[in-house]
Amino acid sequence: MAKLVTRRSAKPLHMGANPIAVSKMRKYFVNENFFDEWTPKMAYVLGFWFADGYMRHEKSYRISFCSNDYDILVLIRNCLGSNHNIVSQKKDDSKDLIIFSKKLYLKVSELGGKRHKSRTIIFPEVPDKFLPDFIRGYFDGDGSVFFVKYINTKNKKLRKELRSNFTSGSVDFLEKLQDILNKKLNLVKKKICGFNDGRSLKLGYGTYDTLKLLRFMYYPNYPVGMTRKARFLYNPKTQNFAKKYDHFLEMDEFNWKNSIRATFKT
């Protein structure tokens, strides 16, 4: 059950009179037991926080979620059973959902969260059952999916392929994520690349690995997530890739990669 969190302040009606005070109350609701038990929504929100969240305890304990996408912050707020404000930042187009709660702060810390985490965060212990939700949350926060167009150097034809990547400042986090996706989905291990003058790192995947990744994360009836990223699964071009992938996988589960590579080049 969501716990009512209240903040109080009081000040006199006027100076030099009886100390009559009026209590002003701002009420914030939040489910302070949200991170106590693993669920698909809990795993998703935790994953999103690992990507685009931070925590503070100066003056008051709080955890925050940041995004340029207002709608996803509303969904996260609903998951938390909260009515905390979503605040727009003046310096850019980003928005913050700030949750004031010592219990949630301590629970996120217990689950592997830390302050100033950008370069030091590590992949937390997540039950296998909830890995698709946690990874989807992280991907919605610090991942991207897109199409690329280029001219094939051999046949000079225009090609369009599907790509995806995860970004982080922590090489340990991305290496662990890469290991998990290799074991769970047999995604190809590639070099983790740096960008932004080495301040950020990127783990990227090609067409058919991205297809498997999207199917893994945005499974049927997933409870919460970014619709605009899930829609890539239903794009006509992606559906074309999916048909080829499924066809060759059924024909030869051991050699499908070499067959599908040749087909994607046409």
The predicted-structure confidence for 53-84, as pLDDT tens digits, reads as follows 999 988 889 999 999 999 999 999 999 999 99
Cα–Cα nearest to 116, from 55, 42, 166: 55
Question: What are the sequence ranges of the domains in the chain?
Answer: 3-234
Distances in Å between the Cα of 214 and the Cα atoms of 31, 91, 207 are: 30, 33, 11
pTM of the model: 0.83
- CATH class of this structure's domain 3-234: alpha beta
User: What's the pLDDT score for residue 259?
Assistant: 46
- Strands of 142-190, DSSP E: 143-151, 158-168
User: What's the pLDDT score for residue 102?
Assistant: 95
Phi-psi region of 192 (alpha: psi -120 to 50; beta: other; left: phi over 0): beta
63 neighbors 105 (Cβ within 8 angstroms): yes
The predicted-structure confidence for 208-245, as pLDDT tens digits, reads as follows 999 999 999 999 999 999 999 999 999 888 888 788 77
Please give the average pLDDT of every successive group of 10 residues along the chain, which has 266 residues. Answer: 40 38 59 97 98 91 95 97 90 89 96 92 97 98 94 83 95 97 95 83 95 96 96 88 71 50 44
Cα–Cα nearest to 161, from 245, 230, 50, 51: 245
